[in-house]
Amino acid sequence: MKKLTPFALVLMAGLLAPRLAQAQGTLYVSNLGQTPAGTASIGSDAWIAQAFYTGANSSGYSLNAIQLLMDAGSGSPDGFDVSLYSDSGGVPGNDLGSLAGSDPAAGGLFTYTSAGLPLASQTLYFIVATAATPVAQGAYDWSYVYTSAGNNQWEIYPLSGSSSDGSSWTMQGRAETFQMGIYAAEAPEPSTLALAGLGLACLVFWRRGSLVRLPKPLPVRGPNIHANVRAMSR
Helix (H) or strand (E) holding 74: strand 61-75
> DSSP string of 86-111?
EESSSSEEEEEEEEB----TT-EEEE
CATH 2.60.40 correct for 11-186: no
What DSSP character marks residue 121? T
Tell me, what's the pLDDT at 215? 58
Q: How many residues does the chain have?
A: 234
Query: How far from 174 is each of 46, 145, 158, 166, CA to CA, in Å?
Result: 20, 10, 5, 21
Q: Where in the chain is the domain with CATH 2.60.120?
A: 11-186
**Residue among 184, 195, 191 nearest 60 (CA):** 184
Tell me, what's the pLDDT at 209? 56
- pLDDT digit string (tens) for the chain, length 234 residues: 333 344 433 333 344 344 333 335 899 999 999 999 999 999 999 999 999 999 999 999 999 999 999 999 999 999 999 999 999 999 999 999 999 999 999 999 999 999 899 999 999 999 999 999 999 999 999 999 998 898 879 999 999 999 999 999 999 987 899 999 999 999 987 654 445 455 554 454 545 555 445 555 555 555 554 455 445 445
Compute the Cα dihedral for 138, 144, 146, 152 and give only its sign: negative
Count of CB atoms situated within 10 Å of the CB of 23: 10
**Assign residue 9 a region: left if phi > 0, alpha if psi is -120 to 50, beta otherwise?**
alpha
d(CA 119, CA 101): 20
Compute the Cα dihedral for 125, 143, 26, 153 and give only its sign: positive
